[in-house]
Structure 1
Amino acid sequence: MKAIPKILVGQRKSPWLAVNLSAALPGMGQIYDGAIARGLFIAAAHLGLVVFIFWSIFAPRGNTLRGLITLMPLLSLYIFNLWDSHHVAKQGITLNEFSPLRYQSSDPWYPVFLSQILPGLGHLFLQQATAGGMLLILGILTAYLANFNPALLPIPPIIWAVGCGLVYRSAPARQRQWSWLGGLLVAVLITRLAISSIPFIVPQKVVQCIVPSESMLPTLEVRDRIFVRPRPFEYPLAAGDIIVFSNPERTPIDQAGELKNLMVKRVVALSGQQVEIRDGQVWLDGLPLVESHLTEPIRYQWGPQTVPPAHLFVLGDNRNNSRDSHVWGFLPQAHVVGQAYKIYWPPQRVQPLL
Structure 2
Amino acid sequence: MLRQGFRSWWTAGILVIFLVLLGVVRWLVIQPYVISSSSMEPTLRSGDRVLVNRLAYLNAAPSRGDIIVFAYPKDPKRTFVKRVIAVPGETVELRGNQVFIDGQVLREPYLKAGDYPPYGPETVPRGKVLVLGDNRRQSEDSRAWGLLPQSAIIGKVWLTYFPFQRWRFF
Residue type of the alignment partner of 2:43:
T
Residue type of the alignment partner of 2:70:
F
2:123 aligned partner: 306
Q: Secondary structure at the match of 1:234?
A: coil
1:248 aligned partner: 73
Task: Provide TM-score, normalisation by structure 2.
Answer: 0.90
Question: Structure 2: which 5+ residue stretches go unaligned?
Answer: none
- 1:242-281, aligned counterparts within 5 Å? 242-251=67-76, 260-281=77-98
Q: Secondary structure at the match of 1:300?
A: coil
2:39 aligned partner: 215
Distance (Å, rounded) in 2 between the aligned partners of 1:298 and 1:275: 18
Distance change (3 Å), C-alpha of 1:298 and 1:275? farther
1:204 aligned partner: 28
8 Å CA contact 1:216–1:265 kept in 2: the answer is: yes
8 Å CA contact 1:281–1:298 kept in 2: the answer is: no
Distance (Å, rounded) in 2 between the aligned partners of 1:214 and 1:307: 26
Residue type of the alignment partner of 1:322:
S
Task: Provide TM-score, normalisation by structure 1.
Answer: 0.45
8 Å CA contact 2:41–2:112 kept in 1: the answer is: no
8 Å CA contact 1:270–1:312 kept in 2: the answer is: yes
Deviations along 1:117-157, one digit per CA (max 9) or x if unpaired, are xxxxxxxxxxxxxxxxxxxxxxxxxxxxxxxxxxxxxxxxx
Residue type of the alignment partner of 2:89:
G
Residue type of the alignment partner of 1:201:
V
Distance (Å, rounded) in 2 between the aligned partners of 1:303 and 1:331: 15
Question: How much has 1:349 moved relative to structure 2?
Answer: 1.6
Question: Structure 1: which 5+ residue stretches go unaligned?
Answer: 1-106, 117-160, 162-184, 252-259
Residue type of the alignment partner of 1:217:
E
Residue type of the alignment partner of 2:17:
L
Residue type of the alignment partner of 2:22:
I
Distance change (3 Å), C-alpha of 1:298 and 1:341? farther
Residue type of the alignment partner of 1:198:
L
Q: Does 1:334 align with 2:159?
A: no
8 Å CA contact 2:112–2:136 kept in 1: the answer is: no
Q: Does 1:348 align with 2:165?
A: yes
How many residue pairs end up in the alignment? Answer: 169
Distance (Å, rounded) in 2 between the aligned partners of 1:247 and 1:312: 13
Residue type of the alignment partner of 2:30:
V
Q: Does 1:224 align with 2:48?
A: yes
Deviations along 1:102-129, one digit per CA (max 9) or x if unpaired, are xxxxx5555x28x83xxxxxxxxxxxxx
Question: How much has 1:203 moved relative to structure 2?
Answer: 2.3
8 Å CA contact 1:277–1:301 kept in 2: the answer is: yes
Distance (Å, rounded) in 2 between the aligned partners of 1:233 and 1:275: 25
2:60 to 232, 235, 238: 235
Question: How much has 1:191 moved relative to structure 2?
Answer: 5.3
Structure with higher helix content: 1
Q: Secondary structure at the match of 1:207?
A: strand
- 1:10-89, aligned counterparts within 5 Å? none
2:109 to 269, 292, 295: 292
Structure 1 window deviating more from structure 2 (310-319 vs 227-236): it is 227-236
Distance (Å, rounded) in 2 between the aligned partners of 1:234 and 1:302: 31
Instruction: Give runs of ≥4 in structure 1 deviating > 6 Å.
Output: none
8 Å CA contact 1:277–1:304 kept in 2: the answer is: yes
Q: Which has the higher contact order (CA 8 A, sep 6+)?
A: 2
